[in-house]
Amino acid sequence: AAGGEGAVRPSLAVGTGHAYVADPQKGVVLEVELANLQVRRSFEVGGTTGSLALVRLEGVRH
């Protein structure tokens, strides 16, 4: 079944001020502003997103 065992479920990654939510059925990742819970951006990634990881890098800006 589509929602049963083995189904890919939405995933979430939280960063400073934003959360990223993957919708595996639509193949998109939404960037949500935590201050007002509004969607800021939508990224079409295609396929079925099974998990998210958020990495923040600091250093010299180019």
Residue 46 three-state SS? coil
What are the structural domain ranges in the chain? Answer: 1-51
pLDDT at 1 over 60: no
- pLDDT at position 54, please? 87
Residue with tokens 């990634």: 45
For the segment 9-61, what is each residue's pLDDT rounded down to a tens digit? 889 999 999 999 999 989 999 999 999 999 999 999 988 887 898 888 888 77
Burial class (CB in 10 A: 0-12, 13-18, 19+), 59: exposed
